[in-house]
């Protein structure tokens, strides 16, 4: 498979690389330290069309594909992961469910504003007792027989982009009934921000991703019209499995970007920092560390691009997406640790980007399916007993 980028994809890569270095890099450290959402940067990303990359032009998108999204995420994450995860969640989790499963009316209502970055969407899946076991959903949605409205009750946690000033909606998974054998029947329902009974908690105090928005959500007799059902009733479980499969490619691209950013910063520091009379980059111990880091980042890139290419071509990609996510997240943690070691005491100082990368890396082995879940998926795709 040819992994060379097309001229269009290469132009996108250079554009986002320039934006990341010229706009994001000089400002994001202050936002990160203040735990503040970077509205100005996000608005600029919207004007660039990044939130509309994989969506059709008829809905305000750029007419691109998932490979284009991954390229943008990798280049952003080479500089900062908070900005990258805001884009990833806004596209893969916020807008993609509407694109894949929404009615024409739902697409016309929401996608143009999501593609432009005017509003952000969020995906309410995880709950306090339903993380990796997403089938353990406790949130419920019951039809009011008089009005036909859905009445939603429950709690969601760790939801990205859910409490910003520009959040427009959250797609919530909820139990809407039971199957013949008593298993929960899960559906997806659109809940617009500001709906009575829908409250958003204060931002979490997080180890990393400090310039991104992550909240707990509460639904207390939240009423939305019957038309807010996303897709077919009872198909919510299958829908979010599809969303997570695709999202793993996006997270793999983001993780690859962080891993490559660690290489970038380590090379720069190793050329400048002197010890025992010469630059530390001249010592074999440092050279070997950086060489291994580059090898891992390169291999991770091949993995996510392969999975994305399969998705774009309409081929099966579940196993490849799981492998890409598992490997790239592991590499991100490894490279962040080594980059911090190369920087020595300065790597422990927040003024250096590698300190931010170290703090941001660990969540990549957890979000969008833990490393353990990825291994389960790979084993199943190989035909091993479940």
Residues involved in catalysis: 368
How far is the C-alpha of 47 from the C-alpha of 63, rounded, in Å?
15
The dihedral built from the CA positions of residue 130, 136, 138 and 139, taken in this order, carries a sign that is positive
For the purposes of burial, counting CB atoms within 10 Å of the CB of 212, is it exposed (0-12), middle (13-18) or buried (19 or more)? buried
Angle between helices 39-48 and 7-19 (to 10 degrees): 160
Residue 308 contacts residue 71 (beta carbons within 8 Å)? no
Name the helix (H) or strand (E) containing 378.
helix 371-381
How far is the C-alpha of 67 from the C-alpha of 50, rounded, in Å?
12
Task: Using only the alpha carbons of the chain, give its radius of gyration.
Answer: 21
How far is the C-alpha of 264 from the C-alpha of 291, rounded, in Å?
12
Judged by phi (left if over 0) then psi (alpha if -120 to 50, else beta), residue 86 lies in alpha
């Amino acid at each position: 498979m040819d992994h060379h980028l097309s001229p269009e994809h290469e132009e996108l890569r250079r554009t986002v690389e320039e934006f990341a270095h010229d706009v994001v890099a000089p400002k994001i450290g202050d936002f990160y330290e203040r735990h503040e959402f970077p509205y100005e940067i996000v608005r600029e990303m919207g004007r660039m069309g990044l939130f509309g990359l994989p969506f059709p032009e008829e809905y305000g998108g750029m007419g691109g594909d998932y490979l284009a999204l991954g390229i943008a995420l990798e280049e952003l994450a080479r500089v900062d992961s908070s900005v990258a995860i805001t884009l990833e969640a806004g596209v893969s989790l916020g807008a993609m469910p509407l694109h894949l499963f929404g009615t024409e009316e739902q697409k016309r209502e929401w996608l143009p504003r999501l593609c432009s970055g005017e509003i952000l969407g969020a995906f309410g899946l995880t709950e306090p007792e339903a993380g990796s076991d997403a089938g353990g959903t406790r949130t419920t949605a019951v039809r009011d027989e008089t009005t036909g409205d859905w009445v939603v009750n429950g709690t969601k946690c760790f939801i990205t982009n859910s409490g910003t000033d520009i959040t427009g909606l959250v797609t919530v998974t909820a139990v809407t009934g039971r199957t013949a054998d008593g298993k929960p029947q899960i559906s997806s329902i659109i809940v617009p921000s500001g709906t009575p009974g829908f409250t958003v908690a204060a931002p979490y105090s997080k180890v990393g991703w400090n310039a991104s928005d992550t909240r707990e959500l509460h639904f207390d007799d939240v009423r939305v019209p019957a038309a807010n059902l996303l897709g077919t009733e009872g198909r919510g479980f299958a829908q979010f499995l599809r969303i997570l499969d695709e999202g793993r490619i996006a997270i793999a691209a983001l993780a690859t970007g962080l891993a490559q950013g660690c290489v970038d910063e380590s090379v720069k520091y190793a050329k400048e920092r002197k010890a025992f009379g010469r630059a530390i980059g001249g010592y074999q111990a440092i050279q070997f560390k950086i060489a291994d880091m580059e090898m891992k980042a390169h291999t991770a890139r091949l993995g996510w691009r392969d999975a994305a290419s399969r998705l774009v071509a309409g081929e099966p990609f579940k196993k490849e997406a799981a492998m890409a996510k598992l490997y790239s997240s592991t590499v991100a943690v490894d490279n962040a640790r080594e980059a911090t070691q190369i920087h020595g005491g300065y790597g422990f100082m927040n003024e250096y980007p590698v300190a931010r990368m170290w703090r941001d890396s660990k969540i990549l082995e957890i979000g969008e399916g833990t490393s353990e879940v990825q291994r389960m998926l790979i084993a199943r795709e190989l035909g091993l007993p479940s």
